[in-house]
Amino acid sequence: MDVGQNEWQNIYSGRIDEDGSLNLPFKTSIPNGTYTVLLYQLGTYQPGSTGTSVVTLTVTFSNGAATGGAFNAYKGYLFVLGNTVKQKRIFRVLEVQMDEEGEVTVRAMEHPCDAGGSLLTKFDGFTVS
């Protein structure tokens, strides 16, 4: 069983100002590069809704600013940006049980992977893609 897990590095957060610039409370600028950005707009509560809108973008920064006015349409949003790192965790399922109430219990053993996601221990008939 493969469990995909995202980890974030180089994290920045703050608010988008009226001119589309980023208001960073702890850092003065963001290094050049491409980042994953989560944008949150806090809205009014609607029944059946969390009241929060979330937008995911991929944005490139050059000379401390987002290229192409990427945030102009998101004035007032809160943001978190960083680099996502995908890690692969591999488990070999040893036992699956279901109790009389229908709750399923899975017992598994984790097998270590290298940075490329390949198993460090090889087993006959056990492949991971």
Q: What percent of the chain has pLDDT over 70?
A: 67
| Domain boundaries defined on the chain | 2-85
- CA neighbours within 13 Å on the CB side: how many for 48? 0
Mean pLDDT over all residues of the chain?
78
Mean per-residue pLDDT, 56-80? 87
Cβ-proximal residues to 48 (8 Å cutoff; 6+ apart), any chain: none
Is the CB of residue 53 less than 8 Å from the CB of residue 40?
Answer: yes
Q: Distance (Å, rounded) from C-alpha 100 to C-alpha 126? A: 32
Report pLDDT for 9. 74
Note if the pTM is more than 0.75. Answer: no
Instruction: Pull the structure tokens for residue 1.
Output: 């069983």
Cβ-proximal residues to 93 (8 Å cutoff; 6+ apart), any chain: 1, 106, 107, 108
Q: What is the pLDDT of residues 6-22, one digit of tens each?
A: 566 788 888 998 888 88
Is the CB of residue 101 less than 8 Å from the CB of residue 116?
Answer: no
